[in-house]
């Protein structure tokens, strides 16, 4: 089944976003070990470097790594 989930907020801090992503990763590791899940995140307020640091802080790392698409 194809599932798309959109979550938006204008109130999260960088640290809260990190907690949210870590929670998703923890849930994935516990309940969906054999499933492939992709996550698309847009945070225009963060620099590419900040996004890299944020995504690199998620443990264990995402299986396929992450890709940052810069803004033109």
Number of domains in the chain: 1
Q: In this structure, is residue 3 part of a structural domain?
A: no
Q: In this structure, is residue 6 part of a structural domain?
A: no
Q: In this structure, is residue 8 part of a structural domain?
A: no
Please tell me the predicted confidence (pLDDT) of residue 8.
Answer: 95
Q: What is the pLDDT of residues 53-66, one digit of tens each?
A: 999 999 998 877 78
**pLDDT greater than 70 at residue 72:** no
> What DSSP letter does each residue of the chain carry, written as one string?
---------SS--HHHHHHHHHHHHHHHHHH-TT---------TTS-HHHHHHHHHTSSSPPTT--------
Q: What is the pLDDT of residues 9-55, one digit of tens each?
A: 999 999 999 999 999 999 999 999 899 888 888 898 999 899 999 99
Please tell me the predicted confidence (pLDDT) of residue 14.
Answer: 96
Q: What is the extent of the structural domain holding 71?
A: 14-32+39-72
Of 31, 29, 24, the C-alpha closest to 5 is 24
Please tell me the predicted confidence (pLDDT) of residue 71.
Answer: 64
- Residue 27 sits at φ, ψ, to 5 deg, of -65, -45
């Amino acid at each position: 089944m194809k599932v798309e989930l959109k979550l938006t907020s204008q109130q999260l801090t960088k640290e809260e976003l990190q907690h949210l992503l870590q929670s998703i990763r923890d849930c994935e590791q516990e309940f969906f070990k054999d499933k492939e899940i992709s996550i698309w995140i847009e945070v225009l307020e963060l620099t590419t470097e900040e996004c890299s640091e944020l995504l690199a802080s998620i443990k264990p790392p995402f299986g396929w790594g992450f890709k940052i698409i810069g803004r033109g």
